Structures are given as structure tokens and as C-alpha cells.
Amino acid sequence: MSVVAENRLNTQVLTEQVFDVLVIGGGVAGAWTALDCALRDMSTVLIE
């Protein structure tokens, strides 16, 4: 799958779902926050 096709698929998935938490930034703090939210059964998306 090409990068363009993969990006379109990812965008489609993100626009068709509702998330409890959106974390922007995949550094240490962002990754930890996303993990913590997911472990608390929150629907979480992490965008780098």
C-alpha cells in the first residue's frame, strides 16, 4: 500500500469514529498519557 493510500485510510478511520481522548504528540509525555487513558478504558487516539 502506498503512503498516500495509507494516509487516506487513516484519515477515513479517524473521521468515522468518536474518541474520548485525542493526544497530540508521541513523545514521552504523550505516549504515557495515551497509555494511561487507554488503560482506563477510554477510547484514545495518538497523533504524532
Of the candidates 36, 45, 41, 39, which has an alpha carbon nearest to the alpha carbon of residue 10?
A: 45
The whole-number pLDDT of residue 12 equals 75
The domain tally of the chain equals 1
Q: What is the pTM of this model?
A: 0.71
Specify if 12 maps to a domain.
no
Q: Is residue 13 part of a domain?
A: no
d(CA 41, CA 4): 31
Structural domain containing residue 40? 19-48
Question: Exposed, middle or buried by CB within 10 Å (0-12, 13-18, 19+), for 34?
Answer: buried
**Which tens digit of pLDDT belongs to each residue from 3-48?**
656 667 667 777 788 999 999 999 999 999 999 999 999 999 998 8
Q: Helices marked H in 1-48 — which ranges?
A: 3-16, 28-39
Q: Specify the pLDDT at position 3.
A: 60
Return the amino acid letter for 28.
V
